[in-house]
Amino acid sequence: MGKDVGMGRATEPVAPPSRLLLALEMHGIFELQAFFTVYPLLRRAPRRDGDPVLVLPGLAASEISTRPLRIFLKDLGYAAHGWKQGHNRGPRPGGEDGIDARIAGLSARRRRTVSAVGRNLGGVYARAPVRPAAAPRNVSAVTFQSRKTLQ
In a domain, 108, yes or no: yes
In a domain, 3, yes or no: no
In a domain, 130, yes or no: yes
pLDDT tens per residue, range 127-140: 776 554 444 456 67
Quick one: three-class SS letters along the chain? CCCCCCCCCCCCCCCCCCHHHHHHHHHHHHHHHHHHHHHHHHCCCCCCCCCEEEEECCCCCCHHHHHHHHHHHHHCCCEEECCCCCCCCCCCCCHHHHHHHHHHHHHHHHCCCEEEEEECHHHHHHHHHHCCCCCCCCEEEEEECCCCCCC
In a domain, 150, yes or no: no
In a domain, 124, yes or no: yes
Pick from 86, 45, 97, 49: nearest CA to 69: 45
Q: Which pLDDT band holds residue 148 (cuts at 50, 70, 90)? A: very low
Using DSSP bridges, classify how beta strands 79-81 and 52-56 pair: parallel, antiparallel or unpaired.
parallel
CATH number of residue 73's parent domain? 3.40.50.1820
pLDDT tens per residue, range 40-51: 888 888 888 899
User: Span 55-68, mean pLDDT?
Assistant: 88
User: Span 82-98, mean pLDDT?
Assistant: 85
Domain that holds residue 49: 19-144
pTM for this prediction? 0.69
* Cβ 60 vs Cβ 95: under 8 Å: no
In a domain, 47, yes or no: yes
Whole-angstrom distance, CA of residue 129 vs CA of residue 4: 13
**How many domains does the chain fold into?**
1
Count of C-beta atoms within a 10 Å radius of residue 43: 10
Residue 91, judged by CB atoms within 10 A of its CB (0-12, 13-18, 19+), counts as buried
In a domain, 2, yes or no: no
In a domain, 112, yes or no: yes
